[in-house]
Amino acid sequence: MALDPTVPAVAVGLVGGYAAARYTGRRELGGMVLAAVGAYCTNEWRSRGPAVAAGLLGTYLVAFGASHPLAKKIGAWPSVFTVTAATSAATLAVTSAVPASR
């Protein structure tokens, strides 16, 4: 069983989006990274059905939103890494359990 390419893509989107915003000082650039990766992943997840695509996209977006209040408690980078690990694990679990229909 091969690793679905969306698993590392989710990590790139969350960590890369935060890094782009933080190190350029342009929040919209981070949002563009987050959105571009989200669009790519959602397109890939659609082959597993609309419920899977919607669920995983929702998980990705909730992780982004949850990282903000979590950052106030544990710090920015630890927050980003925590939500990234959880979202990547969820993506791995779902993409391993639900086969793509291509």
Tokens 């927050």 belong to: 79
Tokens 């790519």 belong to: 40
Residue 19 identity: A
**How many helices (H) does the chain have, and how many strands (E)?**
4, 0
Whole-number pLDDT of residue 2: 85
Stated pTM of the model:
0.93
- Alpha-carbon distance of 30 to 87, in angstroms, equals 18
Instruction: Return the closest-CA partner of residue 87 out of 31, 7, 30.
Output: 7
- Alpha-carbon distance of 53 to 51, in angstroms, equals 5
Whole-number pLDDT of residue 18: 97
Is the pLDDT reported for residue 102 higher than 80? no
Whole-number pLDDT of residue 1: 65
Of the chain, the percentage scoring pLDDT greater than 90 comes to 96
